[in-house]
Structure 1
């Protein structure tokens, strides 16, 4: 007679084998779970139907289609993205995450989305062109390269859970300026041209935005190889043009 404990042990062993297999290989038809923030347009944001849209969504879907994989998207708050990847809740993060030495300690980065970009820049936006960022409080999204840079350079910082909330803090008078990605902030300045203005930009010694994988994930090489093909055949430029205009790749 087979005991209940034996059955449970067998199930556990099977599950462990299954996890090991998924961690070392991917096959056509496999489901790839991709986490995104859904609050950082044009990279990712929530559409009218309550589903994520944006550059990274289109890029991830295109890569999965070309690899004959099934993409499922999971919307996760920015501050929780690392924990979910380490817990195995998803396989990839596509959330405009910049490649830094600190982050490389817990993940593997794919290639930069914008491979020929020579540097990453941070942009200051505020209500007045005559106010230097050092003269007031800078609103910034928590846990970003921009927060790290501001603190390292002695700015007075107040953090918010999303980049949108940081920008709203400037509009509401809670902060003098905000700092973030030019590709995220510029369109918002143009839409609020009578209220907001670009104060300036600074160079940042970090890598560009890229997909993020668990250490040793076989998906990274597959995604990178497919992005190389997409650069060569123009399909990556087409997706980029849809969301960023003439940004070069």
Structure 2
């Protein structure tokens, strides 16, 4: 009986420790306005505000971790952090490796930016960030794909003449085009890709996924998610 009571106590203690365990949120920190590093050296942006709110609603203690985009899925799977919150589009290919929450950004357009509106985006040279759905689209489009590890480098490739255009989330490119003073313009047609942006989790972490899923749904239900989206992406942003 004493052993049974002791075992029950240990199990209860273990459950309590597991509940109090810190959840590590992994992001790139280089994809504004989704996520970026501010002047204080801290993760900032739409996903910082969203992630903090989701953790609060789910009753989780969370901390932020930054990771390069091209290894962000492998390092989730290997346990370097517990959640990807990094502007990651939900795709069937990624869903074979990791699990996703419901989307917290609706499916939005990808777009081409170039130095001239008639840039050849169908058979020319197009820059895109490595391991993105945009890179996959360019590779299948007939254009020559130039891949770069960071989004900043894709834009720089257009400015320095290495690429005819850059293809990325329009939400990311819009402020860059607007602030370029006419140097960068839109080219080609917008393209709809993916199933929106969601949290990425290990397939085994179903309990954590369900908690965060419920938190996202609660923000949709009480009307707090849409104003957060428009505050970071502008009044023209797609909302739920």
TM-score interval for Structure 1 and Structure 2 normalised by the shorter chain: 0.7 to 0.9
What's the counterpart of residue 90 of structure 2? 99
What per-residue deviation string (whole Å, max 9, x for no partner) do you get for residues 5-53 of structure 1?
xxxxxxxxx9xxx7xx79xx963x4311010001111100110011111
Unaligned runs of 5+ residues in structure 2 are: 1-9
CA contact (8 A) 2:110 2:193 kept: no
Deviation at 1:164, TM superposition (A): 1.4
Output the CA distance in 1 between the equivalents of 2:142 and 2:120. Answer: 14
**Which stretch of the first structure deviates more once superposed, 232-241 or 151-160?**
232-241
Structure 1 residue 181 and structure 2 residue 169: aligned?
A: yes
Pick from 64, 74, 78: which aligns with 2:69? 78
Residue of structure 1 equivalent to 2:226: 237
Contact 2:120/2:164 (CA < 8 Å) preserved in 1? no
Alpha-carbon distance change, 92 to 135 in structure 1, aligned in 2, over 3 angstroms:
same
Pairing partner for 2:155 from 147, 153, 167 = 167
Provide the aligned length of Structure 1 versus Structure 2.
226
The Cα shift of 1:139 comes to 0.9
Indicate conservation of the 8 Å contact 1:26/1:219, yes or no: no
Relative distance call for 1:135 and 1:142 in structure 2 (3 A) is: same
Partner residue in 2 for 1:228? 217
- Map of 1:35 onto structure 2: 26
TM-score normalised per structure 2: 0.87
* Matches of 2:181 and 2:122, distance apart in 1: 23
Deviation sequence 1:78-117 (CA, Å, 0-9, x none): 0111111111111100011111111111111111113xx4
- In 1, Cα distance between equivalents of 2:225 and 2:26: 20
Distance (whole Å) between structure 1 residues aligned to residue 99 and residue 43 of structure 2: 24
Do residues 193 (structure 1) and 193 (structure 2) align?
no
Partner-residue secondary structure (3-state), 1:220? helix
Q: Distance in 2 between matches of 1:26 and 1:55?
A: 28
Q: CA deviation at 1:202?
A: 3.4
Q: What is the deviation of 1:220?
A: 1.1
Closer, same or farther: CA 229–209 of 1 in aligned 2, 3 Å: same
Mapped contact 1:96–1:210 kept (Cα < 8 A): yes
More deviation in 225-234 or 89-98?
Answer: 225-234
Residues 30-39 or 201-210, more deviating? 201-210
**Runs (5+) with no aligned partner, structure 1:** 1-13
**1:132 and 2:120 aligned:** yes
When residues 195 and 155 of structure 1 are mapped into structure 2, their CA distance, relative to the original with a 3 A threshold, is: same
Residue 131 of structure 1: how far off its partner (Å): 2.1
Q: Pairwise CA RMSD of aligned residues?
A: 2.1
The structural deviation recorded for 1:227 is: 1.1
| Pairwise CA distance, 1:238 | 2.8
1:161-183 deviations in Å (ceiling 9; x for gaps): 11111011111222110000010
Does the aligned pair in 1 maintain the 2:100–2:209 contact within 8 Å? yes
Q: Report the equivalent of 2:139.
A: 151
